[in-house]
Amino acid sequence: MISVESLTKAYNGDAVVDAVTLQLPGSGLTTIVGPNGAGKSTLLSLISRILGPDAGTVIADDIDVLSAPGTEVAKKLSILRQDQNTTARITVRELVEFGRYPYSKGRLTEACHIAVEEAISYCDLVSLEERPIHEMSGGQRQRAYLAMVLAQDTRYVLLDEPLNNLDMVHATGMMRLLRSLADDQGKSIVLVLHDINYASVYSDRIVGMRDGEVVQDGPTSEVITPDALQAVFGTAFPVHDLAGNKFADYFR
Amino acid sequence: MPPLDTAVAPRNGSTRPGTKVRNRIRTVTSVIVVLFLASVAFFLTWGVDGHWDFALPRRIEQLAALLVVGIAVAVSTVIFHTLTENHILTPSIMGFDALYILLATSIVFFVGAYAYAEIPDLLLFSINTGMLVLGATLLYRWILSDATRGLYTLVLVGVIGGTLFGSVTSFMFRVMNPNEFDVLMTVLFASFSSIDTAVLGIASVLLVGGTIAAYRMISVLDVLTLGRDRAITLGVDYRRVVTVLLVIVAGLVAVSTALVGPITFLGLLAANLAYRLTSTHRHTVNFPVAALLAVTMLILGQAALQHILGYAGTLGSIINLAGGIFFVILLVRQSKP
Amino acid sequence: MATVVLWAAVAAVVTLSVASMFVGVIDIDFGAVLTDPEARRVFALSRIPRTLALILAGTAMAVAGLILQSLMRNRFVAPTTAGTVDAAAVGLLVVIIISPGAPVMGKVMVALVFALVGTILFLAVVRRTRFREAILVPLIGLVLGGVYRAVAEFLAYRYNLVQSIDTWFNADFSGIIAGRYETLWLAGAAAAAAYVFANRLTAVGMGEAFATSIGVNYRATMAVGMGIAAFATAVVVVTVGAIPFLGLIVPNIVTILVGDSLRKVLPITALAGAVLVLGCDIAGRIVIFPYEIPVGTIVGTVGAGIFLFLVMRKGNRYAAA
């Protein structure tokens, strides 16, 4: 379990993440939703120590994320962010091998090679492994970065808007992959999504944020309701049952 | 699991993992080593006319200096590129050597020329280098480590800072008396034709130290090519690593600036040519390739200066002229779709 | 805000101009100007020309910077970061080598042609490279300017002109007397012309699609703007030497204070350029009196200091990556 305790980040006096206290489960798929500017991505950056908080603590299982040695944290928690520009000429395999850095410090062991192979085949990248990532399509590159995160073999995998720039087919493929990671490998997947219906169909748990605060936190069935969505988005959407899933009709 | 990608990607033919890249790197490295050796042979023998006992020791000393400068410039530039995630920046554009010259000038300015002349070379070089390492590291770590300041701020501060350092230096030049100025000039810009052996010795020691330190950090440097954020998620202690790397860069800049003064385009061209030729991010490959390219260019430039131009020019201006034009061509061609 | 700043700038220009006329090796007080013919001669020959030259050069370089920034839609482009100054210096060097006795206007015209070609080449390279980050544009300019300068240094070394090119990159007004600064009026005229085109230049600064859609001829206006900036730069380089980073610093400081509308910003930028150059030149005359420190050195120190302060403030407009 990741325990977040009064985590705060402010820019010029405006709190983007405002004293958030939150528990993220040690397994399953948890989605953070909320309107633009709610502080979702910032929260994820703070939890993964990319961004230094103004106050608060993050404890992942028994590790203090903000003060423990970098490699210890890197074996516990990984993050995939949306910006994937890199000037470096790196092939898919080389990229995935980077995921082993916390364990190998650059000298890959036999176990590392196995983990890399598994991650590459899990993400269906075997045929692409010698391709430089800057020559790949957005969907392929997204999978390559995911494979790197998988090779890192952490219990917690954080993803910031992994469906950005993916069409429906690829977005669904990505969500199935994440779901199977949670189910088959017992990982805890925490992601930020814009589309609440993807969240509804695939998540075990949904966290709703608004104005830097957590306003909803519960099992999917409790958060995808007109009242709860009203609290998060400020608009009430009708919610329909369809083939066993709940869908918010936000189109009208 | 269903297929994730409906578009079938072209397969890599019959090549096994990595072979293509490895072959390319091997070919490139071999060609560059041959070029380097040829330029060395050429530099040592051209136009000697039988006066071997006179010409050879002098040329070997020059060669040693060129080696030291080339390696220092290439390694520091490659590190700097990785650190800033930007291939057009160099320590020189960011004001490192302007800072070095400013610091050296301030010593003459504040202690006076006569006291300055009393300071032994070794101590002086150590003071200059120490101050640069301290100043540059503090300054650039401060800028680099704050995530809310972007690359924008970094570049601005570097470029403007470079001007500021340069202006303060020329301000001191103006206020100094001519004797002090002369002392300063001879100390600041030793040319390759008259190398101070003592300085060359210290510089080589520093170079070897800096290069070994850089090699020990090769895997971290590789991780840093993924960017600051990914490096942190992979467990890199970013602040510490950046500090150490900046210390190495500052030390190497001090080495090359003390020996030849600023040569902006040498590192820029050597590093970018290396990236382009090797097509890899790996520092184990890019360090030696960039260094060999830099040294070869210096040797050819020095040979051209001596034999073709009859010393009418400086090595810096030749390298900047040829290297600069070539770099711009590279820049334009590289970004063609 | 803009009006207050405008009048403050006017007041500063007037005050500093007066001060500039009374600072110098020969001590002259106000009464002497009215009574002493020798004092009046010094005034007419040296003090007034120098003050005018400072105002005109400061105005021209600042406006040239503002125009380039507006046209390139990039805050960090200026004659010194777009290769314009270095290209003009190459031109000047070429005239001096080929025809040492050429008249000043001839030198200006050749320097202008080189400055234009150099800036257009910069534009072409920027277009070809298509970098996503705006900050890389001035970096390319610096690199390209470095190439031009390498050409200049190479030629200068061959023809023993190293000392003179140093002064072209670093303005010095100590040699200004009547008869040696008048070309600068042309640079002042170029800055005034920019005001006439201000609205069209603003439109072009909004992008080709926008400019065309509101009926502004994009290419022609772009050419006019580039021409004005290159001409002002060429005149200043030939007459007194470039003032480093003035064109970068002044427009940035002014737009921080009063916003981005070119018509509003342009007069204030012009005045602020004059203020900075006047102030720095006066300081340069006082600090090691009776010797002088070139104005470029002082501008580089003071201006760069101010700019660094602005950039390093927390939460400033440059903070975003």
pLDDT tens by residue, C286-303: 887 777 888 888 888 887
Q: Which amino acid is at C77?
A: V
Count of CB atoms situated within 10 Å of the CB of B267:
29
pLDDT, position C38: 82
Q: In this model, does residue B167 exceed pLDDT 90?
A: no
Task: Say if the Cβ atoms of A11 and C315 lie within 8 Å.
Answer: yes
Residues 33-72 of B with CB under 8 A from A: none
pLDDT, position B2: 42
With bands split at pLDDT 50, 70 and 90, how would you rate the model's confidence at A12? confident
Which long-range CB contacts under 8 A does B170-178 form with residues at least 24 apart? Answer: B170/C170, B170/C294, B170/C297, B170/C300, B171/C293, B171/C297, B171/C298, B171/C301, B172/B105, B172/B106, B172/B109, B173/B105, B174/C288, B174/C291, B174/C293, B174/C294, B174/C297, B175/B109, B175/C287, B175/C288, B175/C293, B176/B108, B176/B109, B177/B113
Task: Say if the Cβ atoms of C288 and B175 lie within 8 Å.
Answer: yes
Domain assignment present for residue C320? The answer is no
Is 0.90 exceeded by the ipTM? Answer: no
With bands split at pLDDT 50, 70 and 90, how would you rate the model's confidence at A84? low
With bands split at pLDDT 50, 70 and 90, how would you rate the model's confidence at B89? confident
Helix, strand, coil percent values for chain A (each to nearest 5): 35, 30, 35
* β-bridge mates for residue C123, sequence order: none
pLDDT, position C45: 85
Of C125, C138, C319, the CB nearest to B150: C319
pLDDT, position B329: 82
Domain assignment present for residue C318? The answer is no
Most confidently modeled of B127-141, B240-254, C304-318? B240-254
Least confident of A133-142, B184-193, B278-287, C230-239: B184-193
What is the DSSP-derived secondary structure letter of residue C173? Answer: -
Q: Mind telling me how many Å the CA of A12 is from chain C's nearest CA? A: 7
* Helical residues (DSSP H) of chain C, grouped into ranges: 2-22, 30-35, 37-42, 48-72, 84-98, 104-129, 136-158, 162-169, 184-196, 198-205, 208-213, 218-239, 246-258, 262-287, 295-312
pLDDT, position C94: 92
Chain C within 8 Å of B148 (Cβ-Cβ)? yes
What total number of domains does chain B contain? 1
pTM of the model: 0.83
pLDDT, position A85: 62
Q: Mind telling me how many Å the CA of B87 is from chain A's nearest CA? A: 8
* Cβ contacts of B281 on chain A, cutoff 8 Å: 88-90, 94
Choose among C119, C120, C127: nearest CA to C84: C119
Q: Considering only residues A139 and C111, tell me which one the structure prediction assigns the higher pLDDT.
A: C111
Residues 31-90 of B with CB under 8 A from C: 86, 88-89
* Cβ contacts of A12 on chain C, cutoff 8 Å: 314-315
What is the DSSP-derived secondary structure letter of residue C313? Answer: S
Q: Considering only residues C288 and B183, tell me which one the structure prediction assigns the higher pLDDT.
A: C288
Task: Say if the Cβ atoms of C147 and B324 lie within 8 Å.
Answer: yes
pLDDT, position C317: 53
pLDDT mean over B269-280: 88
Write down the residue that tokens 């050296």 correspond to.
B104
Give one word for C89, left, alpha or beta, with left for phi > 0 and alpha for psi -120 to 50: alpha
pLDDT, position A202: 93
Choose among A232, A247, A250: nearest CA to A201: A247
Is residue A101 within 8 A of residue A75, CB to CB? The reply is no
* Cβ contacts of B168 on chain C, cutoff 8 Å: 301
**pLDDT, chain B, mean:** 79
* Cβ contacts of A71 on chain B, cutoff 8 Å: 235
Chain B within 8 Å of C170 (Cβ-Cβ)? yes
Choose among C57, C105, C104: nearest CA to C85: C57
Half-sphere exposure of B122 (CA within 13 A, CB side): 5
Q: In this model, does residue B334 exceed pLDDT 70?
A: no
pLDDT, position B44: 87
pLDDT, position B4: 42
pLDDT, position C319: 46
Q: Considering only residues A146 and A86, tell me which one the structure prediction assigns the higher pLDDT.
A: A146
CA C160, CA A73: separation in Å to the nearest integer?
63
CB pairs under 8 A between B and C: 137
CA A188, CA A134: separation in Å to the nearest integer?
29
Q: Which amino acid is at B134?
A: L
Q: What is the pLDDT of residues B107-160, one digit of tens each?
A: 878 887 777 777 777 777 788 788 888 887 777 777 666 655 565 676 677 777
pLDDT, position B336: 47
Choose among A17, A15, A1, A6: nearest CA to A192: A17
Q: In this model, does residue C66 exceed pLDDT 90?
A: yes
What is the DSSP-derived secondary structure letter of residue B9? Answer: P
Cβ neighbours of residue A46 under 8 Å, at least 6 residues apart? A7, A9, A17, A53, A56, A58
Count of CB atoms situated within 10 Å of the CB of C316:
14
Task: Say if the Cβ atoms of A12 and C132 lie within 8 Å.
Answer: no
Chain A within 8 Å of B141 (Cβ-Cβ)? no
Task: Say if the Cβ atoms of C132 and A85 lie within 8 Å.
Answer: yes
What is the DSSP-derived secondary structure letter of residue C132? Answer: S
pLDDT mean over A164-192: 89
pLDDT, position B16: 42
CA C299, CA C243: separation in Å to the nearest integer?
7
**pLDDT, chain C, mean:** 84
Total count of residues recorded for chain A: 252
Least confident of B30-34, B113-117, B142-146, C21-25: B142-146
Choose among C59, C58, C77, C57: nearest CA to C205: C77
Q: What is the pLDDT of residues A108-148, one digit of tens each?
A: 888 899 999 999 988 888 888 888 888 888 788 888 888 99
Task: Say if the Cβ atoms of B336 and C128 lie within 8 Å.
Answer: yes
Residues 82-111 of A with CB under 8 A from C: 85
Domain assignment present for residue C319? The answer is no
Q: Mind telling me how many Å the CA of A236 is from chain B's nearest CA? A: 34
The CATH number of whichever domain residue B199 belongs to comes to 1.10.3470.10
Domain assignment present for residue C141? The answer is yes
Is residue C216 within 8 A of residue C204, CB to CB? The reply is yes
Domain assignment present for residue C245? The answer is yes
**By residue range, what is the domain housing residue B306?**
4-8+15-335
Determine which of B16, B230, B241, B284 to mutate to test the interface with A (most A C-beta atoms within 10 Å): B230
Most confidently modeled of A161-175, B202-216, B224-238, C24-38? B202-216
Chain A within 8 Å of B13 (Cβ-Cβ)? no
Q: What is the pLDDT of residues C169-211, one digit of tens each?
A: 878 888 888 888 888 899 999 999 998 888 888 888 888 888 8
Of C125, C146, C311, the CB nearest to B331: C125
Q: In this model, does residue C110 exceed pLDDT 70?
A: yes
Q: What is the pLDDT of residues C89-98, one digit of tens each?
A: 999 999 999 9
Q: In this model, does residue B17 exceed pLDDT 50?
A: no
Q: Mind telling me how many Å the CA of C308 is from chain A's nearest CA? A: 20
Instruction: Output the CA–CA distances (angstroms, integers) from residue A138 to A14, A117, A134, B169, B258, in the order listed.
Output: 34, 22, 9, 50, 47
Residue B76 is encoded by which pair of tokens?
Answer: 């520091």
pLDDT mean over A50-77: 90
With bands split at pLDDT 50, 70 and 90, how would you rate the model's confidence at C111? very high
Q: In this model, does residue B337 exceed pLDDT 60?
A: no
The CATH number of whichever domain residue C48 belongs to comes to 1.10.3470.10
CA A136, CA A129: separation in Å to the nearest integer?
11
Choose among B71, B33, B68, B85: nearest CA to B214: B71
Task: Say if the Cβ atoms of C76 and B164 lie within 8 Å.
Answer: no
Task: Say if the Cβ atoms of B321 and C150 lie within 8 Å.
Answer: yes
Of C81, C129, C170, the CB nearest to B332: C129
Chain B within 8 Å of C153 (Cβ-Cβ)? yes
What total number of domains does chain C contain? 1
What is the DSSP-derived secondary structure letter of residue B304? Answer: I
Find chains touching chain C: ≥3 CB pairs under 8 Å.
A, B
Q: Mind telling me how many Å the CA of A11 is from chain C's nearest CA? A: 8
* Cβ contacts of B314 on chain C, cutoff 8 Å: 153, 157
With bands split at pLDDT 50, 70 and 90, how would you rate the model's confidence at B99? confident
pLDDT, position B165: 85
The proportion of chain C whose per-residue pLDDT surpasses 90, expressed as a percent, equals 23
* Cβ contacts of B227 on chain C, cutoff 8 Å: none
Q: In this model, does residue B47 exceed pLDDT 60?
A: yes
CA B322, CA C125: separation in Å to the nearest integer?
17
Chain A within 8 Å of C314 (Cβ-Cβ)? yes
Residues 3-22 of C with CB under 8 A from B: none
Of B148, B314, B336, the CB nearest to C157: B314
* Cβ contacts of C143 on chain B, cutoff 8 Å: 88, 93, 265, 268, 324, 327-328, 331
pLDDT mean over C232-251: 88
